[in-house]
Structure 1
């Protein structure tokens, strides 16, 4: 059943984890290297990855004997580290660089948008939100991602380096709060 509050919560959580605004410097640099960002293809590939992991991720976990609450705790730790990375300006997670012909899609769709943090968050959200509302949050994020990818050049000029840094710090604090909530809820559920 659709729940607007859940959809908004999922949207904000995923938007903070994906941090497409915080990734603008990387997107701008990539656009300068390859000449053009394939916004449509990157958005579609990201969406397929996220929705697939929403449905198949739990089955994959069961193959390894891991329950969703344990995975949610692991996801909470990753989200916590991502938040620290954003606030402190230090790189904890290294992203893979590829020099293939798909250089304009692969680094954007995976790992930048639908990377480990996003996929972990999606499976972690299943512990607290209904699947239909998670899909709603994913779709809204895909629309936002597409808009940011399409307008990266315009956004670069409007926000400037200082504006991008402030947004990154704000989303980092939001991620830390989300991580603490996930850890608290799922650690208690485990006992």
Structure 2
């Protein structure tokens, strides 16, 4: 089930892309109790002022499917727009009524700036180099294969907050994998490796 927050009697799903929370046009319309298409129309009117990858992300249908945004966008969506916090603030500038001001504050404090970011991430245990060197080779290989698989599965989704943790885990995994690679090299007497 997708995590969500309540903003002025509306449930808004928590959506994250490239380590930051983002919203869709439909989410903005729902939160601000506007007719469907209002946020998209405001975006299109001011499109020349929005900077891609700073104020919004334009995603292809393939990216939407592979990044698990199928619950946010309708099936077979060819292109999806995700709005960043800065983009949201620019997008709703024309929304000038009292309700919009209240919702803007709620969304910014409860949605965009709520930390820690979801989900709760647990670091994968990666044995120290000394431990691996003391183990039988096959046991060390198996432990590293499991740690790498868990790290990739839990933290390897491109654009997720977990990707930062994955990078840190890779900093520990790579030297360990090199050690195991060196230990598993065959050495034949009288044959040089040059």
Structure with more relative contact order (C-alpha pairs < 8 Å, separation 6 or more): 1
Higher strand share: 2
Say yes or no: TM over 0.5. no
